[in-house]
Amino acid sequence: MSDKMHIKLTVNGEPKEFLAEPRELLIYALREKLDITGPHVGCDTSHCGACTVTLNGKSVKSCTMFVAQANGAEITTIEGIGAPDALHVLQESFKEHHGLQCGFCTPGMITRATKLLEENPSPSEEDVRFGMAGNICRCTGYQNIVKSILAAASEINSAKEAAE
Amino acid sequence: MIPAAFDYYRPETMDDVIAILQEHGDDARVMAGGHSLIPMMKLRMADVPHLIDLQAIDGLSDITIEGNRITLGAMVTQHDLIAHDGLTAAAPILQETALQIADPQVRYMGTVGGNVANGDPGNDMPGLMQCLDATINLIGPDGARSVAARDYYESAYMTAREDDEVLVSVSFDTPSGGHAYEKQKRKIGDYATAAAAVQIANSGGIVASASIAMTNLSDVPVWSDDAAKALIGTSCDADAVKAAVAAMLGDIDPSEDNRGPVAFKRHVAGVILTRAITRAWSRTTSRA
């Protein structure tokens, strides 16, 4: 039973192929098979959101998805959002507004926030708090995370206006 | 946490799903979004040697509104319910409920079908479906059949669905009047300490019809005919609301858990139901 499956994923634009048991959870496949260690294992019970990735356009908790379920999917992780020498606006904003302390939750926070701003480019503070409710931070008390996301939203919007 | 090994299937037709279910009996289970089943498999409280993923079956994610009949496919997610403007116009209680389930990531994966089929007393959709007098549509080796949501739940995790049947959709008439879904939970992502689904129709200041169901206050959802009857024909005044709450408290049977002792749950049930009835009624008058 449970032979290894041939899994194909597109991760951050790159095609990936590997063998995995169906029961392997997506987060472990990303971290241990593909060496994509931005998404973190926090609670391992779909509460904390540290493992959040974007899968086929949805924010999902990769600890609560079998790699077999994800077979064929397009996935974006924090590695596909920005790079150390080319930070995403949200990453700059978290840095600027002290939106992190230990940083463990930050990849999940920013991955979720990119999708939140895609769905709602001009969120209110309440929208941000509601839209980020699946991500837990044990350091900041959230105030600076909310501030960072709101600042990134207005920066993205002003850049868009300037371009028009 | 690592679940026990299983064989994974992603069939493309419902015939293939049923064939796998027939071959493996209760060693096989279907999975929609997996957000109830996977955590149980990770804890090894559910052992599923043959896991059938429904994601490749066409048509299970459809939301259809035809005349005054609404049908939700089993794979419609909580996120889909929130984002569908036509559905929110026709039956706003669905969006109000879905917004109170879990968190954004879970709502992208969690489905109506999974929530209804699982039979978990803590899930919100079963009580809502009883409030709406929904029909649960199943398909099995002998074809399709339908069961009323109010007859579907037998005990915790036990439902009218046979092992070789698949829940494919739920359907219900467009509700009329005012609505409310009120839920008390300890934190985002928690199950309800108590939740109430209420629909009330107002005819000239008098309650013409009412339907009331509550969640996580028994091992099955509790649709209370007596609570509805206590409101019908009244002006939904404070005495009528009190009578409806008293009737509901006669029908619930909560048990003590980490959300509190029985007395606390009964207290919360009364508070939540009072709020839900009041809000549903205020929405009828604002529309009249």
pLDDT tens digits for range B186-210: 999 899 999 999 999 999 999 999 9
CB contact under 8 A, B5 and A21: yes
Structural domains counted in chain B? 3
pLDDT tens digits for range B100-143: 999 999 999 999 999 999 999 999 999 999 999 999 999 999 99
- Minimal Cβ distance to A22: which of B1, B6, B103: B6
CATH number of domain containing B31: 3.30.43.10
CB contact under 8 A, A131 and B34: no
A6 confidence band (pLDDT: 50, 70, 90): very high
| Within-domain flag for B252 | yes
**Pairs across A and B, CB distance < 8 A:** 86
> Which chain A residues are closer than 8 Å to B41 by Cβ?
23
CB contact under 8 A, B188 and A64: no
The residue-averaged pLDDT of B205-223 equals: 97
- Say yes or no: B233 and B138 in one domain: no
Please give the sequence-ordered ranges of beta strands (E in DSSP) within B82-205, or none if there are none. Answer: 135-140, 143-148, 153-155, 158-159, 166-173, 178-185, 192-203
Q: Does B7 touch chain A (CB under 8 A)?
A: yes
Q: Does B39 touch chain A (CB under 8 A)?
A: yes
Q: What is the phi-psi region of residue B276: left when phi exceeds 0, alpha when psi lies from -120 to 50, beta otherwise? A: alpha
Which chain B residue has the Cα nearest residue A44? B1
Between the two ends of chain A, the Cα-to-Cα distance in Å is 58
A3 confidence band (pLDDT: 50, 70, 90): confident
Report the CATH superfamily, name and number, of domain A5-80.
Beta-grasp domain (3.10.20.30)
| Within-domain flag for B1 | no
- Say yes or no: B73 and B149 in one domain: yes
- Give ipTM to 2 decimals: 0.95
pTM: 0.96
| Whether the Cβ atoms of residue B72 and residue B63 lie closer than 8 Å to each other | yes
- Say yes or no: B48 and B73 in one domain: no
CATH number of domain containing B269: 3.30.390.50
Which single residue is written with the structure tokens 């096989």? B28
Note the pLDDT of residue B1.
86
- Which residues are within 8 A (CB) of A31 and not within 5 positions of it... i.e. 6 or more apart? A37, A39, A41
- Say yes or no: B209 and B272 in one domain: yes
- Say yes or no: B196 and B265 in one domain: yes
CB contact under 8 A, A1 and B49: yes
H-helix or E-strand spanning residue B284: helix B262-287
- Say yes or no: B193 and B249 in one domain: yes
A164 confidence band (pLDDT: 50, 70, 90): confident
- Say yes or no: B18 and B95 in one domain: no
| Within-domain flag for B129 | yes
| Whether the Cβ atoms of residue B201 and residue B232 lie closer than 8 Å to each other | no
The residue-averaged pLDDT of A29-34 equals: 98
Q: Residue B227: helix, strand or coil by DSSP?
A: helix
Q: Does B47 touch chain A (CB under 8 A)?
A: no
B286 confidence band (pLDDT: 50, 70, 90): low
Residues 207-236 of B with CB under 8 A from A: none
- Minimal Cβ distance to A133: which of B2, B49, B103: B103
Calpha distance A85→A93 (Å, rounded)? 15
pLDDT higher than threshold 90 for residue B151? yes
CB contact under 8 A, B39 and A46: yes
Radius of gyration of chain B (CA): 19
pLDDT higher than threshold 70 for residue B287? no
Q: Where are the domains of chain A?
A: 5-80, 89-159
CATH number of domain containing B127: 3.30.465.10
What residue numbers bound the domain in which B164 lies? 63-172
Picking from B136, B132, B152, the residue whose alpha carbon sits closest to that of residue B144 is B136
B94 confidence band (pLDDT: 50, 70, 90): very high
- Say yes or no: B151 and B86 in one domain: yes
**Domain spanning A89-159 has what CATH number?**
1.10.150.120
Q: What proportion of chain B, given as a percentage, has pLDDT over 70?
A: 99
Q: Does B56 touch chain A (CB under 8 A)?
A: no
